[in-house]
Amino acid sequence: MDSPVAVATPQFTGARRRLVEELRLKGIADASVLKAFELTARHAFVPSGVRHRAYEDAALLIGSGQTISQPFVHARSLELLKLTGAERVLEIGTGSGYQTVLLSHLVQRVYSVERIAALHERAAEAVKAAGASNVDLTCSDGTAGWPEHAPYDAILVSAGAPEIPQPLLDQLSEGGRLITPVGDREMQRLVLVTRHGARFDRQTFDPVRFVPLVGEHGWDA
Ligand code: SAH
């Protein structure tokens, strides 16, 4: 992949507005989520070979066998978290760093974990180029969470697991919300968990297709 591009490339402004409109038509109603999409240059997070497709509502390959998710799936997950702007959020699966930057517009602080070093390094450059200053990134197995900064008001998992890793539930604050794909390696459903003391309420939403969450409390590599 080549180096990150300048974020404010005017040629993509129209395409980005059209993507925001498409998300709205598909049912995304949260104005702050839509605003985050308007502010974030997705073309700066994808390989140059697919940059012309950056504002399609589609998942794209980002290298190391991984994908940047479909914008609608990011939007849906972010909307379900009902963020207020005050949260400290943990993201598992930094990938391209695109959703990390979407989150940076929506919360107080973002902590994001990626297990593949090449993607972590690439995302660190792209996040910096985007000017996001409320983001901390690390390269490790995110199925163990990031205990040093716990608890988190929200946790967003960007890869699918057969069950929700216990360390992530443990790192959720009182009233905190976690969204994650749960299912088999091919298909999952978005599951939203809300913590009430020792109780974890679960709601199940849309069918989705994410790459596997690989690690101690996820799938084997
Ligand atoms: N939100 C990202 C999605 C990337 S795909 C984006 O839009 O770009 C999911 C990512 O999760 C991949 O980069 C994959 O390497 C990573 N991943 C899988 N298992 C992981 C784990 N145990 N810890 C941290 N990251 C993991």
Look up the CATH number of the domain holding residue 192: 3.40.50.150
Query: How many CB atoms are closer than 10 A to CB 7?
Result: 16
Over range 158-168, report the average pLDDT.
97
Q: Give the span between the Cα atoms of 95 and 212, in whole angstroms.
A: 12
User: Would residue 58 count as lying in a domain?
Assistant: yes
The residues, any chain, with a CB within 8 Å of residue 25's CB and separated by 6 or more, are: none
User: Would residue 216 count as lying in a domain?
Assistant: no
Over range 9-28, report the average pLDDT.
92
The string of pLDDT tens digits covering residues 166-203 is 999 999 999 999 999 999 999 999 999 999 999 999 99
User: Would residue 121 count as lying in a domain?
Assistant: yes
Please give the positions annotated as active site: 69
The string of pLDDT tens digits covering residues 73-116 is 999 999 999 999 999 999 999 999 999 999 999 999 999 999 99
What's the predicted TM-score (pTM) here? 0.95
User: Would residue 218 count as lying in a domain?
Assistant: no
- Candidate from 94, 103, 120, 185 with most ligand 1 atoms within 8 A of CB, to mutate: 94
The residues, any chain, with a CB within 8 Å of residue 91's CB and separated by 6 or more, are: 99, 100, 103, 110, 111, 112, 113, 155, 156, 157, 158
Cβ-based burial of 207 (10 A; exposed 0-12, middle 13-18, buried ≥19): exposed
Which pLDDT belongs to residue 114? 98
Whether 99 lines ligand 1, by a CB cut-off of 6 Å, is yes
User: Would residue 44 count as lying in a domain?
Assistant: yes
Number of domains in the chain: 1
Q: Give the span between the Cα atoms of 5 and 169, in whole angstroms.
A: 37
Which pLDDT belongs to residue 7? 52
- R_g of the chain, CA atoms, integer Å: 16
User: Would residue 219 count as lying in a domain?
Assistant: no
The string of pLDDT tens digits covering residues 113-157 is 999 999 999 999 999 999 999 999 999 999 999 999 999 999 999
Whether 142 lines ligand 1, by a CB cut-off of 6 Å, is yes
- pLDDT bin (cut points 50, 70, 90) of residue 1 is very low
Q: Give the span between the Cα atoms of 159 and 49, in whole angstroms.
A: 24
Which pLDDT belongs to residue 8? 54
Residue nearest to atom 6 of ligand 1 (CA): 68
